[in-house]
Structure 1
Amino acid sequence: MSLLTDSGLETTLIFLEGLELPLFASYPLLDTTEGRCVLRAYFERHLSIAADYGTGYLLESPTWRASRDWGKQLGHTPADLERLNKAAITLLADIRREADAVSPIVISGNIGPRGDGYQPDLAMTADEAEAFHSEQIGWFAETEADMVSAFTITTVNEGVGVIRAAAAAGLPSVVSYTTETDGCLPDGTPLGEALEQTDMLTAGAAAYFMVNCAHPDHFRRALEADADWLKRIWGVRANASRLSHAELDEAEELDAGNPAELGRDYAQLKRMLPNLRVFGGCCGTDHRHVEAMADCCIPVAVA
């Protein structure tokens, strides 16, 4: 069963809908009726694509920045963050109950890196990462979340910490690493090596792995190998842009790339990754890109 998911939430809201998101955080929108309506419309737009193509859907909560260190910069206390993380899952649960045309719908508590998602700026041990992320994961464990997913992770230690914290909380977990233009994590670890190390240090406890926040051109060469770790990548949320992370950081305009071209890139990735089944986007993508992915990657049902 293929699952569609959403696209570049924050870039869509900032560049296409004209919203201000300090520190790239979308979770504060949960605090207002208007903000919740914006988020609901965004997710329902993507769910309609899943309905059209007869796929399942993975609902990711808008909580990528809703952890203690980022929340403190935005003036939120731990109590505020607990309330907002749980409100995010409540919103998604409401959306799931109302989405009769799509099944299955899986709800994921979305986790971001403790530091900058574009560089390994916090050298945590795996134990430190587990202690840090256990707080947010613990909040998700008290909701209707089916799993947790950590995105734009830059080091193996942080990925390992997330997986261990999720296991302790009784939730399935997914870790999505990001790569630079050379197919390596920002700390220089080759993608395949990162997946193998993570599995070794967690006894393969992650449900699966993903790659996000990089254009397929950046990591495609890393996939050109007859290796078992390729089977562990079940999802991709790529950028629309071929710009590097450093260039994206400086960009003042949205680079939306070409949706049809990105869809064809995903079709090529599907041929390289035997278990690829979760299709979504990251920076610069919107519902048009997800529709192009579905058009290129989802088999047409025979009546």
Structure 2
Amino acid sequence: MTLPQLSGRPVVTDGGLETDLIYHYDVDLPEFAAFPLVDRGPGRDLLRRYYGDYVDIAARAGAALQLETPTWRASADWGAKLGYDAADLRRVNQESVALLRGLRTDLLVSGAIGPRGDGYVAGDPTDPDQAAAYHAPQIDAFAEAGADLVTAFTLTGPGEAIGIVRAARAAGLPVAISFTVEQNGHLPDGTSLRDAVTTVDAEAAPDYFMVNCAHPTHVAPGLTEGAWRDRIVGLRANASTAGHAELDAATELDEGDPAELARAQTDLRPHLPNLTLIGGCCGTDSRHVAAMWGV
């Protein structure tokens, strides 16, 4: 299929699922994992309420809609911490796709995956082959369930990204790679955003790139001149201007100001000529995304 964001069509996506559920819906999410909600009837109803806000925003904006499954933590290492084995994870990843399919017939369902480690802290350099082997079961589950694409969020270095692209290609799915950056515009492992994009493109090019889990003012320093910026199609910004270390230690939600966040994101547009897919990340909710879309 042709993804609408690659043909220049505006696409709405959702906001900061986990922080929204924790702070606005009073939901406990051990290990910052939302996927166990899919296993409970009330949890499914809650997720439908959450996603329903973005269905409405897309309709008001006259834009296409892409929603991410609540599965950022639904891989082997994180699942094991919550008592989920391989069979459980395969089932819950597939049921997450089915849940979104039931919301609207014409939306794009993206299978969301997260890093094997901490999305805020870079560990040792990741071997791409090991990353491909680790992420393949989750990606295969999405493919079997009929997801339209896979999006890998909050990646801290290029090695894991290369492996994820290889696993997605093996499964026959389109794939987007989303890096996070620190306040200086560099990835947590110190790689510049430019080098991360060009390195991954040279080894295993995804369908497009994104940046997530960073305020627009953190992304801006990383947008150095060059055609590589054309490869960034999506942005899911944090509400807060705080850095990752501050956010990790925070006990209260910094949800910023939706209008100010929308303005800061607009300031990036001249540097991102192919930006079409817009949503939010930590601290954001439907108010922030509606402001970004002017609805």
Q: 1:14 matched to which residue of 2?
A: 22
- Say if 2:239 and 2:258, in contact at 8 Å, map to a contact too: yes
Q: Secondary structure of the residue that 1:280 maps to in structure 2?
A: strand
Q: 1:248 matched to which residue of 2?
A: 247
Q: 1:82 matched to which residue of 2?
A: 90
Q: For residue 224 of structure 1, report the CA deviation from its aligned partner.
A: 4.0
Q: 1:138 matched to which residue of 2?
A: 140
Q: Secondary structure of the residue that 2:294 maps to in structure 1?
A: helix
1:198 lines up with 2:200 in the alignment: yes
- Say if 1:93 and 1:144, in contact at 8 Å, map to a contact too: no
Q: For residue 105 of structure 1, report the CA deviation from its aligned partner.
A: 1.7
Q: 2:45 matched to which residue of 1?
A: 37
Q: For residue 261 of structure 1, report the CA deviation from its aligned partner.
A: 0.7
Q: Can you list the C-alpha shifts for 1:78-101, whole angstroms capped at 9, x where unaligned?
A: 11111100110000111123xxxx
- Say if 2:20 and 2:283, in contact at 8 Å, map to a contact too: yes
CA distance in structure 2 between the partners assigned to 1:199 and 1:183 by the alignment: 19
CA distance in structure 2 between the partners assigned to 1:266 and 1:48 by the alignment: 21
Q: Pairwise mapping of residues 115-154 of structure 1 onto structure 2 (< 5 A)?
A: 115-154=117-156
CA distance in structure 1 between the partners assigned to 2:30 and 2:222 by the alignment: 34
Q: Pairwise mapping of residues 1-303 of structure 1 onto structure 2 (< 5 A)?
A: 1-97=9-105, 104-202=106-204, 204=205, 206-225=206-225, 227-295=226-294
Q: 2:3 matched to which residue of 1?
A: none
CA distance in structure 1 between the partners assigned to 2:207 and 2:104 by the alignment: 22
- Say if 1:3 and 1:56, in contact at 8 Å, map to a contact too: yes
Q: Can you list the C-alpha shifts for 1:168-221, whole angstroms capped at 9, x where unaligned?
A: 10000000000011110100000001000000011x3x1100000011111202
What is the one-letter code of the residue matched to 1:208?
Y
CA distance in structure 2 between the partners assigned to 1:142 and 1:96 by the alignment: 20
Q: For residue 223 of structure 1, report the CA deviation from its aligned partner.
A: 1.3
Percent identity, aligned pairs only, is: 51
Equivalent residue pairs, number: 287
Tell me: CA distance 1:122–1:47, structure 2 relative to 1, closer, same or farther (3 Å): farther
Q: Secondary structure of the residue that 1:165 maps to in structure 2?
A: helix
Q: Secondary structure of the residue that 2:268 maps to in structure 1?
A: helix
What is the one-letter code of the residue matched to 2:217?
D
- Say if 2:151 and 2:175, in contact at 8 Å, map to a contact too: yes
What is the one-letter code of the residue matched to 2:261?
L
Q: Give structure 2 stretches of 5+ with no counterpart.
A: 1-8
- Say if 1:8 and 1:285, in contact at 8 Å, map to a contact too: yes
Q: 1:101 matched to which residue of 2?
A: none
Q: Secondary structure of the residue that 1:96 maps to in structure 2?
A: coil
CA distance in structure 2 between the partners assigned to 1:126 and 1:262 by the alignment: 35
- Say if 2:194 and 2:224, in contact at 8 Å, map to a contact too: no
What is the one-letter code of the residue matched to 1:79?
A
Q: Secondary structure of the residue that 1:149 maps to in structure 2?
A: strand
What is the one-letter code of the residue matched to 1:223?
L
Q: Give structure 1 stretches of 5+ with no counterpart.
A: 98-103, 297-303
CA distance in structure 2 between the partners assigned to 1:31 and 1:219 by the alignment: 36
Which stretch has the larger CA shift, 158-167 or 119-128?
Answer: 119-128
Q: Secondary structure of the residue that 1:220 maps to in structure 2?
A: helix
Q: After the TM superposition, which segments of 4 or more aligned residues of structure 1 sit over 4 Å from their partners?
A: none
Q: For residue 121 of structure 1, report the CA deviation from its aligned partner.
A: 2.1
What is the one-letter code of the residue matched to 2:209?
F
- Say if 2:108 and 2:148, in contact at 8 Å, map to a contact too: yes
CA distance in structure 2 between the partners assigned to 1:105 and 1:249 by the alignment: 33
Report the RMSD for the aligned CA atoms in angstroms: 1.0
CA distance in structure 2 between the partners assigned to 1:58 and 1:260 by the alignment: 22
- For normalisation by structure 2, the TM-score amounts to 0.96
Q: 1:299 matched to which residue of 2?
A: none
What is the one-letter code of the residue matched to 1:66?
A
Q: Can you list the C-alpha shifts for 1:230-266, whole angstroms capped at 9, x where unaligned?
A: 0000000010001110100000000000100111112
